[in-house]
Structure formats: structure tokens, C-alpha cells
Chain A
Amino acid sequence: MKQTLTEKIISNHAGKKVKAGDIVFADVDRAFVQDGTGPLTVKVIKEMGKGLDRPERKYFFLDHASPSSKSELSDAHRVLRDFASSTGAVLSDVGKGICHQLVAEQYALPGELIVGADSHTCTAGGLGAFASGFGSTDIAFAMATGRLWLKVPQSIKVTLNGELPEGVSAKDIILTLIGRISASGATYKALEFGGEGVENLSVESRLTVCNMVIEAGAKNGVMPVDDKIADYLEKERGRKFDFERLRADEGASYESEIIIDLNELEPVAAAPHSVDNIKKLSHLEKEDIKVDQVFIGTCTGGRIEDLEAAARILEGKKINPSTRLAVCPASEQVFLKALDAGLIKIFTESGGFVVTPGCGPCVGIQGGVLGKGEVCLSTANRNFKGRMGCPESFIYLASPRAAAASSLAGKIVSP
């Protein structure tokens, strides 16, 4: 039986060969929660009367309210700190960064099965892992038993050909794809990326693409394992890792195939209030849309290559006086790299401000909450009504390059 990459990874964790549609119990390599979903997971684990299976592979990330902006959130943080400390689980405290960035930087390995109580857990698919988001109770089960039931998803093959042109980013690939298949076009399915276009993408770009597969409803997104991933892991973690170069079998069965020619992509944005409302930036530019805030950060667009791309555009220039520019490195490690490379100086001198690594502005908690009627151009993954704290504001999603260029212009422009 020829298998897709997702079928292969799940098979390796179910102790038998599986195919799309099978319902299996799979061994979970790593499970994690964040401060928004974690307290509920802790409550459920306690109510189930269970402890943690292999606690050193369970992670508690304090990233959504990083640092806490309200006493209720400080109390929730304490619940997680205490539980991690009493069980021997891994605690990642405020300021360390966004769970998905840290999972990719520090923990995940190709071929692993990773589950998290956060919908963007799919990010780690960029490293060739099966990674998927669940709710607090499912993660409680996974943390307590080391297993989780899964329905093996059908896969849609996404073949990327060619190379991205100048000024076009990984974000444009995934936004274009979501625009094509809609916000529910991959519900319950796996999006398996392949083709020479993947080889041409950096690992950080692959993480950005996989981060947003949930915005098309997908259970997971996955990239074939290659040497670039080995290099990335060695660079981030300071040691070598040995793993199989997993990829789908020739002749595996796919529900459908989508072909994207990277050379033909243009910079795009998702207009309010849905992620599949995709417009070419060259068209939006003509509409003269004034921007109150630009936000560069998140698990989608806050990695070092994102900050570098934005800084190259901002260097030596000043942002429009009627626009605010918030920059949030996705992790402490990204922050330190940005400091070393002089990027933080560039953002600050151009008139922007830098906030603590975490999720803050993207989820409307802190660090750049929007007001009534305000327009934000963000490098994040969601532009749902109310997402950034105010249901009467308007969020456009685009690449870090488009964000930087728009902060200079004070309106939405193509980079």
C-alpha cells in the first residue's frame, strides 16, 4: 500500500499500517498547552484522577498574556507554573516566546506526532512532523495517557513549482492557496506540500505556510523531510540530529492535487473579516486604505527572516506619523538574533516599538489592541471580526514586507 506522508507518520505511531479514514489510537511524542487553554487541561487531568505520562515531553507555554496584563491571568499562570513544577513537565514562562515558534526551534523533530491545545499547532508540519491542534480536554487525555484517537485524514497534494519572485513571501503562498480553496476547503484533511518549490523555501518559510493550513480548516499541513531541516535544527539547537528523510510514497492516493507556480505569485492580503477574502495588494493599493496600526509578529510572521525582510525596507526611513508600528519577535531567541543583527535599532529609529515575545496583539490581549473603526495591517494568521480586541475594527493580513512598506506609506501598499 502506497502511503501519503501523513499516513506514514500516523502508521509509525499507531503500530500498524493505516490509510485515510481509519480511526486509530496513536502514540503522542509531545503534547502542549498555552496559558489560554492550559488551566482547563490541568483541571480535567485532575478530575480524571490522572498524572502525566512522560512529563518531560509535556509543555506548558505562557505566551498569550506575556507578560500578564490582568490579575486573573496572573492567577491562571500560577496554576500552570505550579502544575508543571509538581509534575516535572516543561514550563516556558512569559517572555520566552510563542509556543509554536518554541516547539519548532527547540523541541519538535521530523516524523514526530505532536498535539497541542492551540489551533496553530499545525506549524510544526513545516519540519515534517504530524502536528495538529485540539481542545483542552483532548490534550488532557493525551498528557495523561500518552495517546490520542485520530481519524487518519485524506490528503490534498499541493505541488509548489518554481521559486518566489522578489518581494513575494511565504505568506503570499498560503494566502493564495486559502483564497483558492476557501476557509473550509481542507476541513478534516491534510495539506501535503511537495515539489521543487518546497526545496527552494527556507525552513522558516515552510513553518509559515504550515502555520496557516488551519485557516483552510485542515487537520495538518506537512512538508517532506530534507537536509535543510537538519541544518535548521542544528543551527537553532546547537547540535546534530539524526532522522529519516521521510516523504510520501510515489503513487500514494490523494483526494485532489493543487498546483501553484511560485514564479507567478503576487503579493496579496486577506481583507476583513475572513482569511479567504484574498485581494492582490496592487489592487488594494488603489483603494487608498489608511492604516492606523501595522503589526509585525506572531507565530506566522515573527521569525527572524520576517523581521529581516521588514527591517531591510524600513532601514534609514521613518514610518508615516499617523501610523503605529508594533513589532513582536516570536521568541526570545528571535529577539536576541534581531538585537545582534541591529534590527531592533532599525525598528525603533524608524518610529516603531517592540513588545515582549508572545501572542499579545494578535489575540487582542495587549501590546496593540485596536479601537473602533481602526484599520490594522498584520502579519498574523487571523482577521476575524473582534480578533484584535474590537469587533468594530478592520484587520488585513499580509507579509512582513507588505507590512513594513505600508507602515512607511501610512496606507496599504504592495511591497
Chain B
Amino acid sequence: MKKELKGKVHKFGHNISTDLICPGKYFHLRSDIKKLAGHTLEDADPEFIKKVQPGDFVVAGENFGCGSSREHAPLIIKESGVGAVLAKSFARIFFRNAVNIGLPVMEVDTSRMDSGDELLIDAESGEVKNLSKDTSATATPLSGVMKDILEAGGLKEYVKKGFLGE
């Protein structure tokens, strides 16, 4: 994982469900992550996938990723080039899935971040600087095991390094 992340904000509201992130109508594309990623967040903002640039951030309110356990939701966000997801709070399964597949997720006060703002994130300290508004906020630190998994690049990579939960 990169230590410093820089990119633009794409702002979403509260309760962004995994159905909005990864619509069920594309269920048949789940074995083709690249194709599926062409529909990332489509039902929340049909223009998102055209606007997003590598390293940009998805920023949202409360309960991001609520609903289904589909890991394809964080997978296609990552595949679309997003550098991290920042939200006031996350649904449990989405948060865990994101860490497991190596997509940085940060629980942080996003109320003063708007679409188009440029952010500079220190992934290690959790400090999020809003360069456009000259404000900053600090993310809630990850628990020990989650930090280790994310640093390894995901759970699969962590297991390959010998982690078996002993």
C-alpha cells in the first residue's frame, strides 16, 4: 500500500448500498471484474465511471456499503482506479471485504469534503488534508489484524506469507 495518496473527491450521500455500487442486474458479469467495473456506482451516479481518474477518492456519509456481502463491490471500486474510500461510517461486511482485497477504507469525518476537492492522505497516520479547503481530519485507526491484512495487500497475500490465524 502506498504511504501517501493524492486525488480528487467524488462525493456520495448516506446509505450507499452494494446494490448502488454493484447493481444486481449485472450479476452475470461477476466473473469478469473488468467488465463489471464499467458499472461501478452506476445506480448512484451513472456518470461516475466516466469522471473517475486513477487515485481519486470515493467519499460518502454514514453506512457506506450497506446491504449484500458481495465482495465485487469493493473489487470494482478498486478496479476503477479509486485510491481509497472515505466515509463517516461503513457497513461491517463492506469494510472487512475492502481490507481483505487491499482497498484502503478510512472512517473519517467527511462532512467538509465536496466533489472536486483535492485530498492528500497519509495512510500511516490517517491524516486527511483537504488541499482545496485547507482543512484536515484524522481517520479512526484500524484494529491490529486488519492493519496487518491491509499492509500485506489483502487477506490472500497475508495467507501466502504464512498467516493462518494460529
For residues 41 through 98 of chain B, which have their beta carbon under 8 Å from a beta carbon of chain A? Answer: 43, 62-63, 66-72, 89, 91-93, 96-97
**What is the CB-to-nearest-CB distance from A339 to chain B, in angstroms, rounded to a whole number?**
29
| CB neighbours of B24 from chain A (8 A) | 363-365, 386-387, 389
Provide the bound-state CA to CA distance between A144 and B145, in Å.
18
Are B101 and A137 in contact (CB-based, < 8 A)?
Answer: yes
Are B27 and A149 in contact (CB-based, < 8 A)?
Answer: no
- Flag whether B130 is at the interface (Cβ < 8 A): no
| CB neighbours of A75 from chain B (8 A) | 31
Are B43 and A385 in contact (CB-based, < 8 A)?
Answer: yes
Are A36 and B70 in contact (CB-based, < 8 A)?
Answer: yes
**What is the CB-to-nearest-CB distance from B49 to chain A, in angstroms, rounded to a whole number?**
15
Provide the bound-state CA to CA distance between A312 and B122, in Å.
61
Question: Chain A interface: which of B2-10, B15-23, B113-121?
Answer: B15-23
Are A151 and B143 in contact (CB-based, < 8 A)?
Answer: yes
Provide the bound-state CA to CA distance between A60 and B29, in Å.
19
Are B68 and A137 in contact (CB-based, < 8 A)?
Answer: no
The bracket for how many chain B residues form the interface is: 35 or more
| CB neighbours of A148 from chain B (8 A) | 165
**What is the CB-to-nearest-CB distance from B73 to chain A, in angstroms, rounded to a whole number?**
9
Are B28 and A70 in contact (CB-based, < 8 A)?
Answer: yes
Are A135 and B100 in contact (CB-based, < 8 A)?
Answer: yes
Question: Chain B interface: which of A41-49, A227-235, A329-337?
Answer: A41-49
Q: Which residue, of B28, B62, B96, B145, has the highest number of chain A Cβ atoms within 10 A?
A: B28
- Which of B20, B62, B71, B144 is the one whose CB lies under 8 Å from A40? B71
- Flag whether A282 is at the interface (Cβ < 8 A): no
- Flag whether B137 is at the interface (Cβ < 8 A): no
| CB neighbours of B96 from chain A (8 A) | 134-135, 138
Are B43 and A217 in contact (CB-based, < 8 A)?
Answer: no
Question: Chain B interface: which of A87-95, A164-172, A181-189, A242-250?
Answer: A181-189
| CB neighbours of B25 from chain A (8 A) | 364-365, 369, 386, 389-390
Are A183 and B154 in contact (CB-based, < 8 A)?
Answer: no
- Flag whether A152 is at the interface (Cβ < 8 A): no
Provide the bound-state CA to CA distance between A136 and B67, in Å.
15
Are B92 and A217 in contact (CB-based, < 8 A)?
Answer: yes
Are B69 and A183 in contact (CB-based, < 8 A)?
Answer: no
Write the A377-407 contact mask toward B (1 if CB under 8 angstroms, else 0).
0000010111101110000000000000000
Are B23 and A391 in contact (CB-based, < 8 A)?
Answer: yes
Are B159 and A48 in contact (CB-based, < 8 A)?
Answer: yes
| CB neighbours of B164 from chain A (8 A) | 145, 147
**What is the CB-to-nearest-CB distance from A253 to chain B, in angstroms, rounded to a whole number?**
21
Provide the bound-state CA to CA distance between A103 and B144, in Å.
33
Provide the bound-state CA to CA distance between A148 and B100, in Å.
13
Are A119 and B89 in contact (CB-based, < 8 A)?
Answer: no
| CB neighbours of A355 from chain B (8 A) | none
- Flag whether A193 is at the interface (Cβ < 8 A): no
| CB neighbours of A149 from chain B (8 A) | 145, 165
Are B156 and A137 in contact (CB-based, < 8 A)?
Answer: yes
- Flag whether A64 is at the interface (Cβ < 8 A): yes
- Flag whether A118 is at the interface (Cβ < 8 A): yes
Provide the bound-state CA to CA distance between A88 and B70, in Å.
25
- Flag whether A65 is at the interface (Cβ < 8 A): yes
**What is the CB-to-nearest-CB distance from A138 to chain B, in angstroms, rounded to a whole number?**
6
Write the B140-166 contact mask toward A (1 if CB under 8 angstroms, else 0).
000111000000001110011000111
Are B156 and A36 in contact (CB-based, < 8 A)?
Answer: no
| CB neighbours of A73 from chain B (8 A) | 27-28
- Flag whether A414 is at the interface (Cβ < 8 A): no
Provide the bound-state CA to CA distance between A25 and B164, in Å.
10
**What is the CB-to-nearest-CB distance from A296 to chain B, in angstroms, rounded to a whole number?**
19
Are B66 and A133 in contact (CB-based, < 8 A)?
Answer: no
| CB neighbours of B143 from chain A (8 A) | 23, 151
| CB neighbours of A136 from chain B (8 A) | 71, 97
Q: Residue on A with the closest CB to B33?
A: A40
Provide the bound-state CA to CA distance between A141 and B67, in Å.
22
Are B27 and A37 in contact (CB-based, < 8 A)?
Answer: no
Are A135 and B63 in contact (CB-based, < 8 A)?
Answer: no
Provide the bound-state CA to CA distance between A329 and B121, in Å.
50
| CB neighbours of B93 from chain A (8 A) | 119, 133-135
| CB neighbours of A138 from chain B (8 A) | 96-97, 100, 155
Provide the bound-state CA to CA distance between A264 and B121, in Å.
51
- Flag whether A255 is at the interface (Cβ < 8 A): no
- Flag whether A72 is at the interface (Cβ < 8 A): yes
- Flag whether B30 is at the interface (Cβ < 8 A): yes
| Chain B contact residues, CB within 8 Å of chain A | 15, 17, 19-20, 23-25, 27-32, 43, 62-63, 66-72, 89, 91-93, 96-97, 100-101, 143-145, 154-156, 159-160, 164-166
A-B contact list, 15 entries, CB within 8 Å:
A36-B27, A64-B27, A69-B28, A72-B32, A76-B31, A79-B31, A145-B164, A183-B66, A217-B92, A365-B27, A382-B19, A384-B20, A385-B17, A386-B23, A386-B25
Q: Which 10 A-B pairs have the closest CB atoms?
A: A135-B97, A135-B71, A72-B28, A184-B63, A137-B100, A119-B69, A386-B43, A384-B19, A70-B28, A25-B165
A37-B70, A137-B101, A387-B19 known, 19 other contacts, Cβ within 8 Å: A25-B166, A47-B156, A72-B31, A75-B31, A117-B71, A134-B93, A134-B97, A135-B70, A138-B97, A138-B100, A183-B63, A187-B89, A217-B92, A219-B92, A364-B24, A382-B19, A384-B19, A384-B20, A386-B25
